[in-house]
A and B are shown apart, each in its own frame.
Chain A
């Protein structure tokens, strides 16, 4: 469960293009500390961790406690070498420092409260070990000698062993330490100050001046169609040349534009050897629109009879209303040159640069 949630997070991050993204809160943050929105596996994984603790960790804690107690009992007689004696206050301080470091190493995101709790818990377990060791020794001596736990606490050697075992005992409990809230970065709405741009700028300086910032494409909002229509430019019509005649297009190219349900194998076979004459008057007025659209009824009219008879007409097709687009590349390349004749050039006034100095850019070879 834990591994699955980790993989899901990583896939989500890869899909979003984590590198260089401008999304607030994600730049520079550790992937494992990010909340994931994929089925909320964060909460699921915490629950899974707690179930694991309940299943396995209690047993290991008990075993470690018993072993720690025995070891402390065994080494309680080890005397501290002369010259190595350390005062109790120094030992307490060192112990707190060791426990504090251990808690932070186990849980880097631990909150201050969690850190203090961790140190207190470790200290409590460590004291419990020495108390248990002292009680065990007292019991073994038949009560003749009472071993005060505090006496053992003062000795460095058993204390160190108690510290180690208390760390082993408390390690599974680290999961329950509260974590601090994820730090939200300041609202880096200023593009130039965002971490992504700064890191990319540094890279750009090394690579020679191209700053490419990859951003997530969230898509554009659909614009109001009526506004778009109002802004559409209506080009002034060019005079349509008064020309008669027709151009011949391959019948197979025409059939390729018709609805597939109309065209039979026989029609395709027959079409190979036929051309279709398309009147110029049906084409010239549409050239400026970069497409030539004619109704299917018109196409049927122009097709040779052999080809027309091989076609079928689906019931739902309306010949006069449905239209097809003729292949522009075939139409234009067959036009007479005068069909594309333009009026004399009429550029605006700004096109006349007169004797103005030309602009020159300094280029490399």
Chain B
């Protein structure tokens, strides 16, 4: 859950990268870590297997531009994508403020994308959250590979409500910051709306 510290004038939000295994969640974070200025980010922590599969989570703290005099800090997390680590995914989702759902654009991964999306919805509901109240964007990754599905079909399967979506090639950085900026903007706007409504 986002925290606002009026004394320090700081807003802190949690963003989770979600998606099936090997879709590029960790790659997103690695690129962001590489390209963000050192004084605006912390150390990236990766808990992974020797085969570089995320076992628990990846974590990267970032600081963004000031908004209305408040320092904005974002804690980026990724979840392990393998099916058997659902408990860990659920734990990482606790207190989430924004989600970037990363899809693997390859044809053979389409079913996995859908199952991961359903899994996301199920895990959110276990905390009483839903995608109705949690800002998220969809990132269609690996757009550089040859055997990929058209965007229209991916929208049809994963994003029928047509929330903001981005094509990406995370390994080269294409679409990475665009997705992150979009979800962070929506998270802060949503937080502002809730504050005005007196919910926060």
Contact = CB atoms under 8 A, between A and B. Distances in A.
Interface of A: 17, 201, 204, 208-217, 219-220, 222-223, 228, 231-233, 235, 238, 287-291, 328-329, 332-333, 337, 340, 342-343, 345-354, 356-364
B111 A290 contact: yes
A75 B126 CA distance: 89
A346 B186 contact: no
Given A220-B84, A347-B164, 4 more contacts: A216-B49, A231-B126, A290-B113, A348-B132
Interface in B149-200: 149-150, 152-153, 155-157, 160-164, 177, 180-181, 184-186, 188-190, 192-193
A232 B56 CA distance: 22
Given A217-B49, A359-B188, A364-B36, A290 B157 contact: yes
B56 to A, nearest CB: 8
B37 A363 contact: yes
A354 B67 CA distance: 15
B135 A351 contact: yes
A288 B156 contact: yes
B45 interface: yes
B1 interface: no
B15 to A, nearest CB: 11
Interface string B84-109: 11111000000000000000000100
Contacts of B111: 289-291
A352 B32 CA distance: 25
Interface of B: 30, 32-33, 35-50, 53, 55-56, 62, 64-65, 67-68, 72, 84-88, 107, 110-111, 113-114, 117-119, 121-123, 125-126, 131-135, 147, 149-150, 152-153, 155-157, 160-164, 177, 180-181, 184-186, 188-190, 192-193
Contacts of B42: 209
Contact of B36 (A201, A354, A363): A363
24 contacts: A209-B42, A210-B33, A212-B46, A214-B50, A216-B49, A220-B87, A233-B121, A238-B156, A288-B156, A290-B114, A291-B110, A328-B107, A328-B149, A329-B149, A340-B153, A342-B155, A342-B156, A348-B131, A348-B163, A358-B185, A359-B64, A359-B65, A362-B40, A364-B36
A214 B62 CA distance: 23
A350 B133 contact: yes
B106 to A, nearest CB: 9
A213 B180 CA distance: 25
Nearest to B131: A348
Contacts of A357: 65, 67-68, 185, 188
B37 A360 contact: no
B72 A359 contact: yes
Contacts of B117: 233
Given A17-B50, A209-B38, A350 B177 contact: no
B184 A359 contact: yes
B46 A210 contact: yes
B86 A228 contact: yes
B55 A348 contact: no
A350 B97 CA distance: 11
A64 B96 CA distance: 76
A354 B36 CA distance: 27
Contacts of A214: 48-50
Contacts of B86: 220, 223, 228
Given A223-B86, A289-B114, A361-B40, A356 B188 contact: yes
B47 A353 contact: no
Given A332-B149, A359-B72, A353 B131 contact: no
10 closest cross-chain pairs (CB), A and B: A231-B122, A233-B121, A345-B162, A356-B189, A359-B184, A220-B84, A350-B190, A290-B110, A360-B65, A353-B189
A232 B122 contact: yes
Contact of B193 (A209, A350, A361): A350
